Amino acid sequence: MIEGRSLSWHYGENEVLRHVDLVAHPARVLGLIGPNGSGKTTALRLLYGALRTATGEVRVDGDRLEALGPRETARRLAVVVQESGGESSMTVGEMVLLGRAPHLATFQRTRTEDRRIAGEALRRVNAAHLGARAYAGLSGGERQRVLIARALAQQASHLLLDEPTNHLDIRYQHEVLILVRELAAELGTTAAVVLHDLNLAARYCDDLVLLHGDGRVARAGSTDDVLDPVLLTEVYGIEIERIEVEGEIHLLFRPGDGTRHEERTA
């Protein structure tokens, strides 16, 4: 479990997050959603320690994040962020082996067991055939699979992903998020993911935190509860309609000049 309590962050005089509370539970996928500039990525970075909250605290399985050393943090938290990889000369296999670093002593070489774990991680994401390929030459979808494999090789119990579907075509968007759900369901992994696409969030997330544009929490809870079309219309400033097809939530967007929304909320 990852808990963030009263998380706040400023960039200069700009307050990005305002006393945000959130909880990511084991074996569930938590989605962070909200309009551009609402602080989704900042919140995720606070959860894995890339930023230190100005207020409140982050706890991982009950332990304060700031009290964990870098090695222990890496053993518990695996992070997948956007990486270009264009300058990397590594092979895919070498990239995935980096995930074993938290389990090695300083200057210790990778062992047979580490290579076995890395190979299993590549197979888990259906990318074993890419092992000898140059990471820089992969497609966007292939890179995302490799980065998730690297995270799996860490054998961490918590997985955090920043916009893992960014720049991917529809097929790979779904394949990446299916994999995240499987990891949560089968391994009991705690997963937190930043998403822009509300329909992907509806399909693959168990819980959601919806952030206002000013960095406050508009609502947190189950996906069914948070994806309230009236609330979404208010937060995103666009008319949103919710329909359900065979038990699945789908959101329809109706761009306009805002007149209908203003009339309805007046």
d(CA 260, CA 254): 10
The pTM for the full model equals 0.88
Q: Which residues of the chain have pLDDT under 50?
A: 258-266
d(CA 63, CA 65): 6
Residue 161 pLDDT: 96
* Nearest CA-CA partner of 41 in 32, 49, 52: 32
Residue 125 pLDDT: 86
Q: State the DSSP string of 191-252.
A: EEEE-S-HHHHHHH-SEEEEEPTTS-EEEEEEHHHH--HHHHHHHHSSEEEEEEETTEEEEE
- The CATH fold assigned to 2-227 is Rossmann fold (3.40.50)
Residue 263 pLDDT: 44
Give me the helix-helix angle, 140-153 and 170-187, nearest 10°: 10
**How is the chain split into domains, by residue range?**
2-227, 228-266
Residue 108 pLDDT: 87
Residue 211 pLDDT: 97
Residue 87 pLDDT: 58
d(CA 161, CA 179): 12
